[in-house]
Structure formats: structure tokens, C-alpha cells
Structure 1
Amino acid sequence: MIVSFHIEYRTSWGEEVYIANLFPEPVRLHTIDGIHWETEVEIHSPEQDIDLTYSYQIECDGKIIRREWDNFPRTLHLSGNSRKVYRINDAWKNIPEQLYLYSSAFTESLLAHPDKAEMPMSYKSGFVIKAYAPRINKDYCLAVCGNQKALGNWNPDKAVLMSDHNFPEWIAEIDASKLKFPLEYKFILYNRKENRAECWENNPNRYVADPLLKTNETFIISDRYAHFSIPTWKGTGVAIPVFSLKSAKSFGVGDFGDLQLMIDWAVSTHQRVIQILPINDTTMTHTWTDSYPYNSISIYAFHPMYADLSQMGTLKDKQAEALFRQKQKEINDRPAIDYEAVNQLKWEFFHLIFRQEGETLLASDAFKIFFEANKEWLQPYAVFSYLRDAYHTPNFRQWPKYTTYDTHEIERMCRPESADYPHISIYYYIQYHLHLQLLAATKYARKHGVVLKGDIPIGISATVLKPGQSRIIST
């Protein structure tokens, strides 16, 4: 399978254009005028349909000096066992003006397309058009209309509807044998619910010269962005701390499980955004002074207080389980949040459920994946938390040992055969459950078209610095 790439980019002397991420090493493009760059590569034909991603970068003297915007990498869809020749005509991607529309808040919630279309039908000789249009909700789609019968002859009711398979990128493929070049076209905003065109894009006609396609060749043109006169998105929301979301099933304080109830309320009141105060671990002394959310010991770890105990499991010791249910009611009935009592109660449960389920969970494949993705901060955080309690102070400068950060010492303490491991791994266990619970709340919010927005932990405890700054731990 042959794939040729072409991109227009005006370079300065000594600069060269490369394709990145397609192969282990970047691929250099060639030019004769310093503007039009191209190359041709051979790719092994896949047995099944696959998507290859790539991007462009500029190098000079062997150094990368510029990369294009690639929050949404370019995607090349290859059909299984295809022997096609793909000819790609790309355009350099700068950061889009409406960058916020490409955030997950919009693409996966506010303007999400949950039921995406399939990739368009592939033709022996194909003409593919791609464009970005993120401001289109699920009731609409992008369409293309032009001066060809295959493009509707400028009749918007006969426009070719584009697929949102890779939203916010849109794609359409037309049988090139039914096209006459040169051709002109424009994008249309199409109402899928009412089956009618709403408006034309705010651009002059787009022009394509004859690409001189041969049989079994597909020509792909990336048109970057389509713009329409659509009002700026507006929505209502609420800012609230998680600890204030206490419900009947809580343990004295609002937790990640209660977020789903808050999401239900937001939906019922037609609100689209929920912003929560920082939820990072602030534990230093295990007293009420730790309750201030802007004095975190980690910018990654969540506060154990926010764990929904009901999602962590049920104690097999029926007497202990019954006692916790009784304590739950007592602490929930208090008129105000008792920070110290809540955390003491939850930690009693953590130790019991960890003793019961910890070994099995830590051996699971799902946990191992989580651990490998997060161990850079998880291990130091867990060790710090363990030593903080062992030495009864969060100030590492006052510890009798480990006052200097030592990666090898942390690795030693975190080995399963270490005597310290049970005291450290319980923090892995808790953080994994917190991860699952917040992820579930996030997915629930997205499913209901609500954005769950976090607050930045702008305040970091003075006892928690970066590695190499004369201390044991960093998170």
C-alpha cells in the first residue's frame, strides 16, 4: 500500500517538514520551492480496518522547532487487505480560535455525539473531504454541496452528509469516477432531525484542481475548519464543594457517590456544569485543621474522605458491618460535618476492607494497569503518608530518617516483601477506589450532558516539594 503526503508550508532557510508518529522515526518530506512539501511511503496492508495517526513538525539542524496543533491527531483510515494508493493533501494545523470547543467538556458532554456514524463507504477511486467543525451538536451534521451532480449541484437538499465517526472531525467520501474536475464546493450545516439544510458556511467556494486520479487511488483533502454563524454556546452551572453533598447514604460527609445525585439535580434544573472545590488529599495532622482544601499534600492524590464506602464493598464480618451501619446513621445525623470523626470512621473501614479485599485487588490486572500509569506520583505519596503517621509529623525535616529524597529507598520500601509494604499499599488501594468512583461519576455526568469540572489545587503544603529539594517525598 502506497501513501503519499503533500502539505503547503512556507519554511525559512534550513527548515524542513517532517511527519511524526507514523513510524518509529520521523519521515522527512521533500520540496523544490520551500513551500510545497511531499513524500511517499509504503505501508503494509492491514488484514483489518485500522486508523493510523500522524502529525507534522518542523525541524532545523536536527532539532524540532515547531509542532502543529495535534490535540486531535490526524487520522488515516485504512481498509483491511486494501491495495489502494492514498494521496493526502493536508494543511498545517495551527491552534484553532475556538480551542475550548475541542476540550472533553464539549466533545464528550455538552456537544457530544454519542451515536456516531460509521465511516463512509469506500470506493475503488475515492475523493475524501475532511473538516473540523466542533460547534455542531448531535442533532446536526456537516454536509458538503458543490457544482457536481454527485455533490448536489448546489442544491442543499441533495448535499452529501458527512460522518461524525471521528468527531469533531467530519469526513465524506465520494465516488471520484462521478466527479469532473476542477470542482467547487462549500460546507452546509444540516439539521438531521428535520432533514433540511440550515445554513451555508461563512467562506468563499472551495476549489479543487484535477488531482489526476488513477484507478484504485483515493485522494484525501483536509480542509481544516468549517465556520458557521452559530451563536456562542452558553449554559448555566453551579459551584459546590463535594463535602457539602451529604446524603442519606453518606458517612457524615458528601462523597464521590453523592456526585451522581448532584448530577441528577443539575439535569432536573437544566444546568450543564458542576464545578467542585479541590478534592486533593490535605491530610497532615488528622485534625480539623486539615479540612482547608487549598493546602494539599499532593496535586494528584484524592482525599480519602471522599470515598463512598458502599462502593468499596461489604464487610464479611456481619457484626462489624452492622456496627458501621449504626455509626453511619449516628454521624450522618449530626447537624454539622465532624471532620475528625468522619475521617477516623472511614479509616477504620479502610483497614478492615483492605485486610479483607486488598490482596486480591492489588493482584488484579485492572489495578496493575492503574498502578503502572500512576506510580510516578502514587508511590511517593503513599510513602510520605506512611512516614507522616509513623513519625507523627508531616514535616520531613523533623523525621529521624528519610529527610533527603531517595528514589531507590522509595522503591525498596514499596517492594511487596518489604515490612513497610502493607502500610504503604493501603494507600494504593484507597486511591484506586477513589479513581474508579470519580471516573464513574464523570461518565455518569457525560452520559447526561453535564460537565463535571474540577478546581485547581492552587495551594500546596510547604512540606511537600519537588524531588531533589532535600526531602523524602513528592506528589
Structure 2
Amino acid sequence: MKIVFRLNFHTVPGQSLWLKLATTLKETGVRFEQVLPLHWINAQQWEVDLDVEGGGAMELEYSYQFREESNGVELEEWNGPRHAAADPASQDALLLLDTWCSAGTVDYAFETKAFQAVMPARGPFMKPVVSSEANHTFQLRMAAVPEGLVPCLLGSVSEIGDWGWHHALPLLEVEANVWQTSAYLPADWWIEYKYGMYDAKLGCVVSLEAGENRTLASRQRGERQWTMVRDECYRRDSNGLYRAAGVAIPVFSLRSDKGLGVGEFADLKELADWASGIGMKLIQILPINDTTSSHDWTDSYPYSAISVFALHPLYLRIEDMGHAMPASFHEELDSSREWLNTMEHLDYEEVMKAKAKLTREVFTKHQKAIVSGDGFQKFLAENREWVVPYAVFCVKRDHYGTADFSKWGEWSAYSCGVVDAMAEASHPECAEVFYHIWLQYELDKQLADAVDHLHQCGLALKGDLPIGIDRQSVDAWAAPHLFKMDSQAGAPPDAFAVKGQNWGFPTYNWEIMREDGYAWWRSRFAQLSRYFDAYRIDHILGFFRIWQVPYEQVEGIMGWFDPALPVHIDEIRNRGIQFDFNRHCRPYIREHFLWERFGETTEEVKAQYLDACGYGYYQLREHVSNQRRIVEHFATWNTDDLLVNERAERMKHGLLDCASDVLFLEVPGSLGTLFHPRCSLHMTRSFQELDHDAKWRVDDLYVDYFYRRQENFWQARGYEKLPVMRRASSMLLCGEDLGMVPACVPGVLKELGILSLEIQRMPKASDTQFANLAHAPYMSVVSPSTHDMPTLRGWWHEDPHVTGNFAWQMLGLAFPKMNLSGEIAATILLQHLQSPAMWTIFPLQDLLAIDEELRNPDIDAERINVPAIMPYYWRYRMHLGMEELSAAEEFNGKIERILRATGRALRG
């Protein structure tokens, strides 16, 4: 018997395809596994033939693998192994005609949790009925089939309808989103066919798939032959693809009469009622993990979690905890609510103090009943692995007065047994541990309840996955080997932060994480999927490479990409650069520009911080030899004297500029042989004072390093990690791929079915000022702004020259007014809604911009974050309550009409 595996997949030289096959003999159960190379037939097809002699009936389990020779990428096809049955006793040949299963196929996006709330489930599935005369099986994968219709098969021979719309073969759904039918077709005929949509009530085809006809060439391999045709997806008309809209707002920004000075999980239910009422299908929020580190306003930063599993107590609604309390408790609660809800912004410290006091009163009064309760015990049993270490971390943080576990004495080194013992009833500190576990139990219940309400409203919830963890977190304490604690994650310089960004997070030790199949990440995604249907991967570029800043430096500009291919000293010299370590790698400090950098403090700086090296050159003294030492030195200068403080700031920033005035950064441990060019080195004095030839050669090396040499290497790193993240849950993945984007990134995201983010004022193309949203890919999210940017109104009045260009180029308007009018805001929103993108998600502030009466009169008060300021106080709150928003009939009606007119206002 001959078994033929033929795969449709477009390749180029240097790429190959492989078959991973497991054969199980039905009679004995013996299983054989093998990996076989497929042979190239043409640019679109690969094939391998197997000759089977006897052996009885067998089950085949197989999948295909793609390999890229240039960078070692090995990519498994999506959706698990395929299955087929073969029997040499009754068959001469089995032809398996397959199409590569790509995670980027639209139907796999429709199978995610994000669409379960908006697309009705089908079933029960049908058992396939195969005619005794049939010799072909056709199988199609198709999700999101319109109600009342089924896929069908129609083709050029009478057995499949002879293109007659009343004679097509309807397909049966044999498992979720897998449709199948069988027919007899002569194996030596050329056949053309298509899939279509069949209406059983009308008894005919109502539409055909887009694109050219599919074909089956002559495929005769034996008298008793069976052909299985597996077509990966229905070729959908791009105009008929599912498109929807959503709203983005941090939970802490929600305002309601019931909230205690902050948005709470329970407020998501009111937001859902409003959003579904105007036809939206998604709510997007910022990270909601606990960030309590220093018990002050700096903990308001939602991307610096002390646990990637624990929820933030900030979002707890006290009265929904269900424990009877005396009248005095409720009086205190009402008094605190009345006071805190009058505030324009979130007062993080006061809200946290109020909630901590009130929850401790509840726990103290009901501790025994709480801890012995079935719900609490069940939650503890199911989440013990993370919730006990988290609770103990919180207890020790408060006991020692710091989250810096290196200062915890005997507790500085994590011990699993010692930590677990604290959650035993006999331990003297168990009450404190149980208090923090109870908060997580209550938060879990309240968030789950809110999510259930969203789903009942036909809405999906989209979360946000921070790229980093807090350096002083339970994750770093319990598993320091997973992180590079001597490094800091950040971002290279851009238009928003010319010195780059330093987020302070440790970077990941990917080599160690790979050893257990990225178990930490997989458990993290499993936890996210308890609540979310989709999520935004913050700084998804970090899965290709992360911007890494040595711990002894402070500004992001002193970092480099990790991993990356550094430049060897021999390559530098071979490029004609007269390499001099002192000139190119040490801070370039010259007499003639000291006054420009330090002004009237120049002589003080020379006397206290610089050593003269002769010929007008200087070097930094040891106590200010790197940026961290500089910052720590001047931290002691903070006084009540404004003039002294200003003088110190001038010196500090001047010295920081001196420390960063280098052309190359040495790779640690390379003994002066490997280097990274410093990002934005063209702005340094060191570069500007090179001769013309040296500038040209350094620039050529710089361009090669940042824009050419790393691409294949980074592509392989992305394919190594992101498929694991994609498979870890059934959530819809959306990448935040803004900034300095390697050329390899769009292709990887497309292949893996990860939606990109498209921002009109941050185009991906370098040769345009604004993105044309009409060209946005379908597998994307378009949005007018993000939390790291000014709102639409804030951006509009920020730079009249830029917005003037935008008004003319994108709207056809000349001389727009300084303040964004509601009419123009509505036009911009309409452009987003008319884009081809799957999702259009609007920050609430940008939606409100269309109503000049309803929107906040204070534009700056709507800003959520300014990345260039670190730390920043994340405290934006809606200026109107959810009750007022829901009652704003004119505004809501206008939004709904716009959504309906663009086909994005969908009912569940």
C-alpha cells in the first residue's frame, strides 16, 4: 500500500518541510514514530510517499513542521496533529492532500474566547456518513458560520453539482468548526471546485467563497484508492468579515456612586451595560495585578506588579463581601465614600488606607467563619502554589517596612517549606497570611462576577499583560533564577522619550525558562484566562529582544538589545574605524564644551567630579563613574533651598550626559572584544567631533547593527517563544508593536495570528507622517491613542504644525482651530471605524471628545501616563459618573448610529 502525504505550502530556497508521523497498529497497539523530510514538487507543494507492506489496519497521527535554514527556526503547524486510518487489506493507496495549518488563519481567531460571547455556540455535532461508493473525503475548517447556513461543496463534475447552485453537497459539522462530506470522483480527472454557503430552507447555495477555483489534478495511485482533501479555511470575502468596536479605560478610572474613590471590579458591570447598549463588543482595561510595594502613590503604576497572579486590593468593593457589620462600620464606609468621590483624581494613598482599614475590620470580626468556609478553603487549595508565597511576601514586606527582600535578614532567601508553614493554622503569623489570601479570594469572586455579567451582555474582556515584573516582587523572591537581576528592562530613545526609558524591571533569563518549556509563562497565561477573553501583550517586541540597561546605569539610552549579535573588535577595525577604547568607549569629556553642559557650576564640577587627563580631556571620578552613582550621590542633596536644589540638578544632569557620551558599550565579560553601538550615538559630542570619514564609517556600522544584522536572529527568537504563549490559552492575542519595530516582527505576528496595533499618528512606515487606516490589516486593532500618549484632544493642541499637517493630509481641512471640535473628533473616529481592522478600540476620553458639552473641559486632566516622567502618578478618573454616562442619550445615540453605519454595532 502507498500512503502519500502532500502539503500545500509556499516556500523559498533555504526552507524545508518535514513530516512528524506516529503509526499505531490497531491489532497490537504497537506505535512507531518517525520524522521524514518532504520532497519539493514546486514552489507551492511538497510531498513524501510511504510504501506499507502488510501489517494490518493502522491509525496515523501526523503533523508538519517548517524549518528555516538561515536562522534555525522550527515552526510546528497549528491546531495539533491530524488523524487518518489506513488498511493495506482494503486499500491500494491513501492520498492525504493537506494545506498548512497556520495560526494566522482568520478562523483560528474566531475560535478564541473573544468571540464565544458574541457568536452563538452550535451543536450537537454530526457523525459523518460515508457512502460505500465514495472515494474522496473533503474536510474544511470554518468557524463563525452564519446562523441558518452551512458550508457546502460545489464543483465542475456532476458528482459535486456541476456548478449547479441547487445541487451542491452540504457539509456536516463533525467536530467544533470542522466540516466534512464525501463523494465519488474519478481519480484521473482534473476537477475544479469551491466551497460556498448553503441555505437548507432554500435548498441552494446563496454565496461562494472568494478567490480562484480550487483544483484537484490527476491523482491515480491505485485501483482501491481513498483521497482525503483537507482544506485549511474558507476563503472569506474581505467585505463580509466580522468587525466590531470596543472601549478602553483603566478600572481605576471608572467613577460611580458606589465606588470608594476609585473604579472597582463591580463597576465593570455598569460599563458593560452602557457599552452593550450602544452596540460595542469589548472592554479593554489596564493591568489589575497587585502593585503594593512602598504603600505610597508610586504604587499606582499598574505595570510594576509584585505578583503576576494576585489581583490588586484597590479594586475590591467592600459592601459586596457579604459579611454583616455594625452600623458604625457602614457610617465610616459612607463617610469615606462621600469624601473620596468628590476628588477629581484618584488619591491612591487615601483610598488604599481606607480599604485596608475597612477590610481588616471585616476580617477581624469574621476571621473564623471566613477561614473555615468552603469557598475560602477551595480557593486556597486551587491556588496554593502562588497565593501562599504572595501572602507571605505581603506579611514580610509590612514587617520589615520594605518590599526589598534582600533586606529581610533570614527571610531574604526564599524557602518553600518555611513559606508553606506560615499558612498552617498552628503558625503564629497565620492570621496575617490568611488576611491577604482572603482578599484575593474576594477579589477573584468579584472579578469573576463582573466577567459573567460582561458575557451575558455579549461583551469580551480584554486584559493587559505587562512585559516585566517588579524587581521587588514575590516572583523575583521565589524564582530569582528566572530573571536577570543585574539588568533593567526599558525602551530605546524615541520621539516621546529622547533619553530612552528605564522601567527598572529585571529582564528574563530565557535560557533558563526554556528548560521547562516556559512553565512560568504558561501558568501566567492560564491565570489570565480565568478572567480575560483577549489580552494585549505589552511591548511584544520584548519577546524578540528586550532593551536591557545595566543596573549601574539609569537612563535608557545606556542600554542595548538582548539578545543581539554584538560587534567584534576585529569587525570594527576591518570597517576602517581606528578603534581606541578610551576614545570610543569611555565618556568623552572636553574642556571646550563644559560650560555649555554645566554653566556657572562648571568650576565646581571640575573640582569635585572630574579628573584632568591632559590636553583638555577629563574623566569622571570614581564616586560618580556611572549613572547610578551619580543619581545616588545627588539624592543626598535634597534641601529646602531652591537655589541649591537647582544647582544640584544642573550638575546631576550634566554628569549624566557626560556618562552617556560614548560611542560603544562593552559586552560584560567579553574582555574588550565585543561591543554594542550606543543608541542615538549621533547626538553625542563623541560622534560629532569625529572627522568626516570616521563619522561615515561609524554610521554605516550603526545602521547595519540596528537595522540589518539582527533581523534573522530576532525572527528566530520570536518563533521560539511566541508560539508557546499562543498555545497556552484560548484567549485572543493582541500585540503592542509600536516603537522601534524590527522588520521581522509583522511577518511573525501574522503567521502566529497575533493582532497588531495600528495608531494613526504612529505609522509603521518610516516614510509617512500618519498611517492610512484604510490600509490597516484585518488582523489588527486600530485605536486613536493609547494610555502612554496624549488623548486625541491633548495631541491636537500639543503641536499646531503637526495637527495642521494631519488635518490637511488626512481630513482635507485647512487651518484647523487650536482646540479639537466635536465634529472633527467624530470624523476621526469614523475613519477608524471604516478601517478593515477586526477591532476598533477607543479610549473613553476619545469617544467623549465628539460631544463638546459632555467632555471634560480640562484636556490635560484626561492624560493617563507620561512615559518620559518616571515615576508618574497614574490617577486619571472619569470626570462624570457611569450613571451620567448611561443617561447621556444624545451622546450614546450618536455613538450607536456611527457604529451601526459602519457595520460595527453588533447584537449578541
Distance in 2 between residues matched to 1:21 and 1:455, nearest whole Å: 42
CA distance in 1, matches of 2:35, 2:415: 45
Contact map agreement 2:117 2:455 (CA 8 A) in 1? yes
The Cα shift of 1:267 comes to 0.7
Cα drift, residue 323 of structure 1 = 4.7
Pick one of 442, 446, 462 that aligns with 1:453. 462
The 3-state SS of whatever aligns with 1:454 is strand
- One-letter amino acid of the structure 2 residue matched with residue 6 of structure 1: F
Partner of 1:18: 20
In structure 2, give the amino acid aligned to 1:331: S
Q: Say if 2:76 is the partner of 1:68.
A: yes
Summarize the Cα distance change of 1:381–1:29 in structure 2 as closer, same or farther, 3 Å threshold.
same
Deviation at 1:223, TM superposition (A): 1.1
Q: Which amino acid aligns with 1:17?
A: L
- Residue 90 of structure 1 aligns to which amino acid in structure 2? D
- In structure 2, give the amino acid aligned to 1:277: L
**Separation of aligned partners in 2, 1:114 and 1:250:** 35
Change in Cα spacing, 1:160 to 1:92, as seen in structure 2 (3 Å) is same
Distance 1:271 1:191, change over 3 A: farther
The alpha-carbon distance between structure 1 residues 286 and 227, as it changes in their structure 2 partners (threshold 3 A), is: same
Q: Which structure carries more helix by proportion?
A: 2
**Residue of 310, 329, 336 corresponding to 1:331:** 336
Return 420-429 or 262-271, whichever deviates more: 420-429
Which of 129, 133, 137 aligns to 1:122? It is 129
Q: Is the alpha carbon distance of 1:31 and 1:283 closer, same or farther for their aligned partners in structure 2, counting shifts above 3 Å?
A: closer
CA contact (8 A) 2:172 2:181 kept: no
Q: Spell out, residue by residue over 1:170-227, the C-alpha distance to the aligned partner (whole angstroms, 9 max, x if none).
A: 31223x4x5554454211145689875133331323326468696xx98543211222
Q: Structure 1 pair 247/31, CA: closer, same or farther in 2 (3 Å)?
A: closer
Q: Name the CA distance, whole Å, in 2 between partners of 1:107 and 1:133.
A: 14
Q: Are 2:356 and 1:356 equivalent residues in the alignment?
A: no
SS of 2:306's equivalent in the other structure is coil
How far apart are the structure 1 equivalents of 2:284 and 2:249?
6
Distance of aligned partners of 1:118 and 1:148 in 2 relative to their CA distance in 1, 3 Å threshold = farther
Would the aligned equivalents of 2:252 and 2:264 in 1 still touch at CA under 8 Å?
yes
1:157-306 maps to which residues of 2 (within 5 A)?
157-163=166-172, 166-167=175-176, 169-174=177-182, 176=183, 179-181=185-187, 182=189, 183-190=191-198, 197-207=206-216, 209=219, 220-231=228-239, 233-306=242-315
Aligned CA distance change for structure 1 residues 258 and 15 (closer, same or farther; 3 Å): closer
- What is residue 396 of structure 1 aligned with on the other side? 405
Deviation at 1:265, TM superposition (A): 0.8
Whether the aligned pair in 2 keeps the contact of 1:68 and 1:92 (CA below 8 Å) is no
Judged with a 3 Å threshold, the aligned counterparts in structure 2 of structure 1 residues 116 and 88 are, in CA distance, closer, same or farther, namely: farther
1:73 is aligned with what amino acid?
G
Question: Is the CA contact 1:29–1:38 (under 8 Å) kept in the aligned structure 2?
Answer: no
Query: 1:344, 1:454 → 2: CA distance?
Result: 29
Distance 1:158 1:412 in 2: 71
Amino acid at match of 1:142: P
Secondary structure at 1:236 match in 2: strand
TM-score using structure 2 length: 0.42
Give, as a single letter, the amino acid of the residue that structure 2 aligns with 1:170. Answer: V
CA distance in 2, matches of 1:90, 1:429: 52
Whole-Å separation in 1 of the counterparts to 2:362 and 2:226: 61
Maintained 8 Å contact 2:209/2:236: yes
**Counterpart pick for 1:36 among 43, 47, 65:** 47
How far 1:275 moved relative to its partner? Answer: 1.1
For residue 333 of structure 1, give the secondary structure of its aligned residue in structure 2: helix
Q: How does 1:115-154 map to 2 (within 5 A)?
A: 115-116=122-123, 118-123=125-130, 125=132, 127-134=136-143, 136-138=145-147, 141-149=150-158, 151-154=160-163
Say which one has the larger Rg.
2
- For residue 425 of structure 1, report the CA deviation from its aligned partner: 4.2
The 1:200–1:298 alpha-carbon spacing in structure 2 relative to 1, beyond 3 Å, is same
Q: In the alignment, is residue 92 of structure 1 matched against residue 100 of structure 2?
A: yes
Q: Which runs of 5+ in 1 are unaligned?
A: 46-51, 79-83
Aligned pairs (5 A) from 1:437-452:
437-452=446-461
2-side partners of 1:416 and 1:38: how far apart? 65
Matching residue of 1:81: none
Give the alignment partner of residue 33 of structure 2, picking from 16, 27, 30: 27
| Percent of pairs with identical residues | 24
Aligned AA (2:34):
R
- In 2, distance between residues paired with 1:7 and 1:291? 56
Distance 1:354 1:38 in 2: 69
Q: If the length of structure 1 is used for normalisation, what is the TM-score?
A: 0.73
- Aligned residues of 1:255 and 1:308 also touching (Cα < 8 A): yes
Give me the whole-angstrom Cα distance separating, in 2, the residues matched to 1:42 and 1:358: 60
Letter of the 1:266 counterpart: A
Kept in 1, the 8 Å contact 2:174–2:180? The answer is no
Q: Closer, same or farther in 2 for the Cα pair 1:139/1:122, shift >3 Å?
A: closer
Say if 1:280 and 1:457, in contact at 8 Å, map to a contact too. no
Q: Residue 383 of structure 2: which of 346, 359, 371 is its match?
A: 371
In 2, Cα distance between equivalents of 1:444 and 1:91: 40
Q: Partners of 1:88 and 1:365 in 2: how far apart?
A: 48
Query: Secondary structure of 1:357's partner?
Result: helix
Give the distance between the partners of 1:395 and 1:385, measured in 2 at CA: 11
Q: Distance in 2 between matches of 1:32 and 1:291?
A: 55
Distance 1:56 1:295, change over 3 A: same
Distance 2:334 2:48 in 1: 70
Tell me, what secondary structure is at the counterpart of 2:304? coil
Structure 1 residue 387, shift from structure 2 partner = 1.0
Distance in 2 (alpha carbons) for counterparts of 1:386 and 1:54: 51
Would the aligned equivalents of 1:191 and 1:198 in 2 still touch at CA under 8 Å? no
Does the alignment pair 1:467 with 2:480? yes
